[in-house]
Amino acid sequence: MAEQSFLVPQEKYLKSGIHIGTKFKTKYMAPFIYKTRPDGLSVLNLQKIDERIKVAANLLSAYEPEDILISCRRENGWKAVKAFGRATGVNVFAGRYPPGILTNPALDNYMEVKIILVTDAWPDRNVIKDAKSAGIPVIALCDTNNQANDIDLVVPCNNKGKKSLGLFFYILAREFLRNKGVLGSSEEPKFVVEDFTEE
């Protein structure tokens, strides 16, 4: 696999642990698993992770920032999603998702969005449920232990690690801005990966 065709150098992916899964694997995630380590942890296929990040970035950049919602119940991803929101202008929820905000126009915080990205299909299941009933497509970051029900696009990755989530949202923000023409095709953004990750 040619190095330059990855969105970031392979070493950067490996260092973040974006490819390290869990000991548990579901049949949904089997096509994305490269191997199982002697310690029982599954290893995700880096090429497939990279391909799916490209697809997610292309999909999201077809929408305006105000039409997108990123939701992250898991605390490890809060810094990353907030940094993504600042960099792109996209709506983000870091913390508990208030039920009904996508489905109940009577609520003060009701919002109409056209696409959603969740950082983990299990803790973010209420968002997925609302999105499904509102007919909103869902992109979900899925680890080896995730189910893929009601998800339109699975992005395989370690969705629990701070470094992994930081790198994912950094790449997504950069590619989103490049696709939108805010950045040139090979221009680097003003933000750096450290802005998205916990020390």
Q: Which CATH homologous superfamily contains domain 17-180?
A: Glucose-6-phosphate isomerase like protein; domain 1 (3.40.50.10490)
Show pLDDT as tens, one digit a residue, over the chain (199 residues).
444 589 999 999 999 999 999 999 999 999 999 999 999 999 999 999 999 999 999 999 999 999 999 999 999 999 999 999 999 999 999 999 988 999 999 999 899 999 999 999 999 999 999 999 999 999 999 999 999 899 999 999 999 999 999 999 999 999 999 999 999 988 999 999 999 996 5
CA separation for the pair 108, 149 (Å, rounded): 30
CA separation for the pair 136, 6 (Å, rounded): 29
| Residue 191 Cα to chain centre, angstroms | 18
Cα distances from 168 to residues 133, 149, 160, 163, in angstroms, run 28, 22, 11, 9
Closest CA to 68 of 83, 85, 84, 90: 90
CA separation for the pair 160, 11 (Å, rounded): 19
CA separation for the pair 127, 98 (Å, rounded): 9
